[in-house]
């Protein structure tokens, strides 16, 4: 390599070269000239390490000639870069420390933009910022939209409380004086034990002629349905509409921090998702519910088009499946009679994680109380068939792997389920890993919720303590690789209907789902939603601040790209799927998406090396 070939030591030549590279080609001529003068030329022989992971970055590198291999902290290559490719920007954006290692694979000539000038351009040039700042800013809250508001933002603080021993007349006077329609009943440790409403006062106390000094414990609703402050307004609406209740306590753990009533909601207008839940709750047959779920593609397109974040959209879409399931449970009991034992219907897969999109099959199971008589087997077989067939009628395809309550294996008493998890943890063979991965995403939908509480806690505790099981689950979480081609491109499907396309689900979303599940296992995190697991893992220190934020950003970008693609398919009158051709994206979109895949591979490598997730 000689100066006569293509030396960029001269500022005018640097400017001419930069004018052929995005985003510098978008700068005004005078600004481009000024930036060109700030670049430094770097000559590097083959095998030169330009920087290592964890080191302070001198600035942003741009290749003029030669090739550079970028590898993660474990040494695994993630990119082989050539002329006009930049590298080092993610570390600069994330605090100035390199998150990868860069080494030349042949003699190279590079341009180095000092870190101070890089950050200046991020501030003054929108095109530069869009191209290099991979951290996607959070979208603003959509004011006035009840379904996407957090319950904590809707409720009135400082609920009025009484003790269980408080007299009915005294409680009624307190309600009158404070102008509230309900009281939270708490014990000596301020834990919520019940709720008393005006309807209780009239229908239970006055109508039954209870003495004025009788304790409110006699008329209160024990163990009322509650919501956490992080729940969405749609959760509140669905609860009120399905259960026919007008008061919902908001709790942080077992402490009541607020109460929401129907009166509190009059200033808000429910979005179509809640209207669909209402229609489902009133349906008398699966066919009637199917008329409602037929609107799901339009709902998805509307939610995406309105700018909702992906986790909000998938929550609202999943709410429809939950409502269908609960309504079918009710209809099954009407058809078959009262259940002969307590049961709990649970969802797993994307419904369990509250991450359903435009295409979803059904994954579910049934836990029965240990005291269920032998005669109950026939009842619950018919029960499961009724519900699963009803869900299929509503458009939720039967699971091809029969991970459903219609399979006797997944319709068992609690003691059998305990045995399942104990065996999977003790003998983590390939099938056990697969089943454990599915079952760690369980979420109760309807029935006796207490059948799951102890099971979840005991299983997480036992699994986290078994290093062999954790090791197997770690390996299992690395099976789905992001679609990275070595030469700055994408590894696309090679043949068939989706040739030259990328599977955004299996190679984009699923790898993050698997990593988040692994973090939840190691940290005994009870959340099942992927983003909630990532946030909890970051807060608990299970992953580094930089690695955790990068992974959340990467997940957000891929998940939103997937939903946007599905919404486009719906608007075009086609059935949505999970595939996308990289050629459909702009250079900027491809660059950001590829960086997201690099983040996932880096975090997978960190997990595979057993580094405690500190990637």
Whether residue 145 lies inside any domain: the answer is no
Provide the 3-class DSSP secondary structure of residue 125. coil
Q: Provide the angle, in degrees to the nearest 10, between the axes of the packed helices 414-426 and 450-465.
A: 10
Whether residue 210 lies inside any domain: the answer is yes
Those residues whose C-beta lies under 8 Å from the C-beta of residue 310, and which sit 6 or more positions away, are: 556, 559, 560, 562, 563
Residue ending a domain, choose from 434, 450, 474: 474
- Same domain for 107 and 92: yes
Question: In terms of residue numbers, what domain contains 170?
Answer: 150-265
d(CA 266, CA 246): 12
- For residue 535, the domain's CATH number is 1.20.120
Contact 165, 159 (CB under 8 A): no
Those residues whose C-beta lies under 8 Å from the C-beta of residue 5, and which sit 6 or more positions away, are: 65
Whether residue 137 lies inside any domain: the answer is no
Contact 419, 380 (CB under 8 A): no
- For residue 15, the domain's CATH number is 2.60.120.10
DSSP 262: G
Q: What is the β-pairing status of strands 161-162 and 182-186?
A: parallel
- Same domain for 447 and 530: no
d(CA 32, CA 15): 7
Looking at residue 488, what is its pLDDT? 58
Return the ∠ at Cα 509 (arms to 432 and 433), rounded to 5°.
5
- Same domain for 160 and 126: no
Looking at residue 355, what is its pLDDT? 95
Q: What is the mean pLDDT of each run of 10 residues along the chain (615 residues)?
A: 52 84 81 87 92 88 89 71 82 77 91 88 76 51 58 73 94 90 90 92 89 92 89 85 87 87 59 79 95 90 82 92 96 96 96 90 95 94 98 94 95 95 90 86 93 87 90 87 74 84 93 94 91 92 88 94 92 88 82 88 82 44
- Same domain for 200 and 160: yes
| Other Cβ atoms within 10 Å of 75 Cβ, number | 10
User: What percent of the chain is helix, strand and coil (3-state, nearest 5)?
Assistant: 50, 15, 35
- Same domain for 366 and 349: yes
d(CA 102, CA 612): 24
d(CA 271, CA 277): 10
- For residue 186, the domain's CATH number is 3.10.580.10
Provide the 3-class DSSP secondary structure of residue 155. coil
Whether residue 455 lies inside any domain: the answer is yes
Q: Which helix (H) or strand (E) holds 186?
A: strand 182-186
Number of separate domains in the chain: 4
Whether residue 142 lies inside any domain: the answer is no
Provide the 3-class DSSP secondary structure of residue 154. helix
Residue ending a domain, choose from 474, 495, 523: 474
d(CA 314, CA 285): 25
Q: Which residue matches tokens 């109380």?
A: 369
Contact 72, 100 (CB under 8 A): yes
Torsion of CA 261, 295, 444, 307, to 10 degrees: -70
Handedness of CA 314, 318, 319, 320 (dihedral sign): positive
DSSP 484: B
Whether residue 256 lies inside any domain: the answer is yes
Contact 323, 277 (CB under 8 A): yes
Whether residue 114 lies inside any domain: the answer is yes
d(CA 392, CA 387): 9
- Same domain for 413 and 327: yes
Return the ∠ at Cα 603 (arms to 46 and 475), rounded to 5°.
110
Residue 490 backbone zone (phi > 0: left; psi -120 to 50: alpha; other: beta): beta
d(CA 252, CA 237): 19
Closest among 365, 272, 366 to 317, alpha carbons compared: 272
Q: Which residue matches tokens 């409403």?
A: 197
- Same domain for 163 and 89: no
Q: Which parts of 444-543 fold into alpha helices (H)?
A: 450-465, 467-476, 510-523, 530-539
- Same domain for 463 and 344: yes
Per-position DSSP letters for 280-294, written without gaps between them: HHH-SSHHHHHHHHT
- Same domain for 431 and 284: yes
Would you call 56 exposed, middle or buried from its count of C-beta atoms within 10 A (0-12, 13-18, 19+)?
exposed
- Same domain for 236 and 309: no
| Other Cβ atoms within 10 Å of 431 Cβ, number | 10
- Same domain for 462 and 330: yes
Q: Tokens for 597, please give them.
A: 């895949």
Give CA separation, 154 vs 144, 227, 238, 276, in Å. Answer: 11, 12, 15, 22
Give CA separation, 135 vs 9, 131, 326, 471, 602, in Å. Answer: 33, 11, 39, 31, 17
Those residues whose C-beta lies under 8 Å from the C-beta of residue 609, and which sit 6 or more positions away, are: 74
Closest among 449, 247, 450, 445 to 330, alpha carbons compared: 445
CA terminus-to-terminus distance, the chain: 37
Whether residue 333 lies inside any domain: the answer is yes
- Same domain for 457 and 372: yes
d(CA 466, CA 469): 5
Q: Tokens for 338, please give them.
A: 């009262």
Residue ending a domain, choose from 265, 299, 334: 265
Whole-structure pTM value: 0.69
Residue 545 backbone zone (phi > 0: left; psi -120 to 50: alpha; other: beta): alpha
d(CA 473, CA 517): 9
d(CA 164, CA 185): 6
d(CA 546, CA 91): 9
């Amino acid at each position: 390599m000689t100066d006569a070939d293509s030396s960029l030591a001269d500022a005018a030549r640097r400017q001419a070269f930069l004018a052929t590279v995005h985003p510098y080609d978008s700068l005004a001529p005078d600004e481009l000239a000024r930036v060109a003068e700030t670049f430094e030329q770097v000559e590097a022989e083959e095998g030169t390490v330009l920087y290592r992971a964890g080191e302070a970055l001198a600035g942003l590198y741009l290749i003029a000639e030669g090739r550079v291999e970028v590898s993660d902290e474990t040494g695994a290559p993630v990119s082989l870069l050539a002329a006009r490719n930049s590298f080092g920007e993610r570390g600069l954006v994330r605090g100035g420390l390199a998150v990868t290692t860069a080494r030349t694979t042949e003699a190279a000539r590079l341009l180095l933009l000092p870190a101070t000038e890089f950050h200046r351009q991020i501030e003054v040039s929108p095109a530069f910022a869009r191209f290099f700042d991979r951290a996607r800013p959070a979208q603003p809250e959509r004011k006035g939209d009840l379904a996407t508001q957090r319950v904590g933002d809707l409720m009135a603080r400082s609920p009025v409380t009484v003790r269980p021993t408080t007299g009915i007349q005294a409680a009624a006077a307190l309600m009158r004086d404070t102008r509230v329609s309900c009281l939270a009943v708490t014990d000596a440790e301020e834990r919520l034990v019940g709720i008393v409403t005006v309807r209780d006062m009239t229908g239970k106390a006055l109508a039954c002629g209870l003495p004025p000094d009788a304790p409110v414990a006699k008329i209160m609703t024990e163990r009322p349905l509650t919501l956490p402050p992080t729940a969405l307004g749609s959760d509140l609406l669905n609860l009120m509409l399905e259960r026919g209740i007008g008061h919902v306590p908001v709790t942080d753990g077992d402490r009541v921090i607020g109460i929401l009533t129907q009166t509190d909601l009059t200033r808000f207008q429910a979005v179509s998702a809640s209207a669909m839940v209402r229609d489902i709750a009133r349906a008398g047959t699966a066919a009637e519910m199917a008329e409602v779920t037929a609107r799901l593609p339009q709902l998805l397109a509307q939610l995406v088009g309105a700018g909702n974040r992906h986790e909000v959209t998938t929550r609202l879409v999943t709410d429809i499946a939950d409502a269908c399931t609960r309504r079918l449970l009710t209809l099954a009991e009407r058809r078959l009679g009262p259940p002969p034992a307590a049961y709990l219907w649970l969802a797993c897969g994307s419904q369990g994680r509250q991450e359903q999109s435009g295409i979803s099959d059904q994954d579910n199971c049934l836990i029965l109380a240990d005291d269920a008589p032998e005669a109950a087997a026939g009842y619950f077989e018919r029960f499961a068939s009724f519900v699963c067939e009803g869900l299929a009628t509503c458009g939720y395809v039967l699971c091809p792997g029969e991970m459903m309550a219609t399979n006797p294996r997944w319709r068992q008493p609690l003691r059998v389920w305990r045995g399942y998890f104990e065996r999977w943890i003790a003998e983590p063979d390939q099938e056990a890993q697969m089943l454990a991965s599915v079952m760690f995403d369980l979420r109760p939908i309807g029935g006796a919720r207490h059948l799951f509480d102890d099971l979840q806690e005991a299983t997480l505790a036992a699994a986290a303590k078994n290093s062999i099981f954790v090791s197997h689950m770690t390996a299992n979480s690395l099976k789905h690789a992001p679609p990275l081609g070595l030469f700055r491109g994408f590894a696309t499907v090679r043949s068939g209907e989706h040739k030259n396309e990328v599977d955004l689900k299996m190679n984009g979303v699923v790898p993050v789902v698997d990593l988040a599940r692994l973090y939840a296992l190691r940290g005994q995190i009870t959340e099942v939603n992927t983003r909630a697991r990532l946030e909890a893992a970051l807060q608990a220190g299970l992953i580094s601040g930089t690695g955790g934020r990068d992974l959340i950003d990467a997940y957000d970008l891929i998940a939103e790209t997937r939903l946007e693609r599905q919404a486009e398919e719906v608007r075009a009158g086609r059935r949505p799927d999970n595939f996308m051709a990289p050629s459909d994206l702009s250079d900027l979109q491809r660059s950001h998406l590829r960086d997201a895949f690099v983040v996932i591979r880096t975090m997978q490598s960190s997990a595979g090396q057993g580094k405690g997730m500190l990637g």
